[in-house]
Amino acid sequence: MVRVAITTLFVLCCLAVFGQRKYVYGVVLDSASKEILIGAHIQNINAGNLTSTNERGAFKLPAKVGDTLVISSVGYKTLAWVADSTWFDEEEIEFALPSNTIYLDEVIVGKLPEYVRFKELILEEQAEDTSFQIFGVPRVVMDPYPVVEKREFMNPLHAVLHPISTIHYSVSKKEKEKRKMQQIRRTKYATESARQKFTREWVSENTKLSGDKLTSFIDYCNFTDEYLATSSRFAIYELMMDLLPEFLEKYEDS
């Protein structure tokens, strides 16, 4: 008898918990064109639940009256809605997001740079973030699509377990382009890191060289960007000072 009472109480508690929130069925649209938005993020900040829209722009998410839903999508403003009782009477609710318009300064187009440099300039351009944010609520961040390195998908084990993926990453032009852009970013990082560590002023301060002698010594060191980017400044300093006496001797003889 006691066991039956406990079981009944447990079932009633479960029903009470599940009854607190019902599913909200919605579709996310462009506020101007009314086109569906695929992959938009919807977060119930009260319950901590997160989902995204499918190929129809639709989603379902547990909520109750008073919960706040934050909806975001790339290229659109992030907005928030507070759930009311009418949400659960409709089969599907429309949520419209306005586009996040960015006005760029006027530019005069002359001779275009080379293809690789043009892509670098695009990557360097940082537009101002004008998206909506609720105070005290973590911003919804879209997870970037990872770049799959060649050594990863060409691994024999990966090829055996995921043959279709291996073929896709091998022949897809889009994936090849992503790997090229990844290499450009790494090269750019190495170059910037090298410039910060091995500046003309820093070399002059430590070697007391100047003018043509300083220029000749920097050229004599012949440190690669990769070495400078991956080495500590102390290691660079030690190697540079080891090369200095040899350079001065050759420079005086020339």
- Of the listed ranges 96-105, 141-150, 245-254, the least confidently predicted one is 141-150
pLDDT of residue 38: 92
Is 128 part of any domain?
A: no
Question: Does a structural domain hold residue 113?
Answer: no
CA atoms within 13 Å, Cβ hemisphere of 96: 7
User: Do residues 82 and 45 lie in contact, with contact meaning Cβ atoms separated by under 8 Å?
Assistant: no
In a domain, 16, yes or no: yes
Q: Do 93 and 179 reside in the same domain of the chain?
A: no
Same domain for 19 and 75, yes or no, is yes
The yes-or-no verdict on residue 108 having pLDDT over 80 is no
Q: Are residues 88 and 36 in the same domain?
A: yes
Mean pLDDT of all residues in 49-68: 91
> Among the ranges 2-16, 26-40, 163-177, which has the highest mean pLDDT value?
26-40
For residues 196 and 45, what is the distance between their CA atoms, to the nearest angstrom?
Answer: 42
Domain coverage including residue 225: 198-253
Contact of 139 with 133, CB cutoff 8 Å: yes
Last residue of a domain, one of 53, 74, 97: 97
What is the percent of the chain where pLDDT is above 70?
A: 75
Average confidence (pLDDT) over 114-119: 71
* Closest of 171, 178, 173 to residue 146, by C-alpha: 178
Number of domains the chain is built from: 3
Whether residue 10 is found in the same domain as residue 82: yes
Considering the domain architecture, whether residues 7 and 80 belong to the same structural domain is answered as yes
Q: What is the CATH number of the domain that holds 42?
A: 2.60.40.10
Based on the fold, state whether residues 12 and 77 are members of the same structural domain.
yes
Confirm whether 135 is domain-assigned.
no
Banded pLDDT at 59 (limits 50, 70, 90): very high
Q: Do 239 and 176 lie in a common domain?
A: no
Domain-terminating residue out of 97, 130, 165: 97
- Last residue in a domain, options 58, 82, 97: 97
Specify whether 34 is located in the same domain as 79: yes
In this prediction, residues 214-238 reach a mean pLDDT of: 86
Residue 45: inside a domain: yes
Residues 6+ apart with CB under 8 A from 56: 27, 36
Percent of the chain scoring above 90 in pLDDT: 26
Asked if 183 and 207 sit in the same domain, the reply is: no
Separation of alpha carbons 94 and 245, rounded Å: 75
User: In which band, very low, low, confident or very high, does the pLDDT at 124 lie, cut at 50, 70 and 90?
Assistant: low
For residue 202, being part of any structural domain is answered with yes
pLDDT confidence of residue 231 = 82
Identity of the highest mean pLDDT range in 119-123, 138-142, 160-164, 248-252 = 248-252
- For residues 15 and 92, state if they share a domain: yes
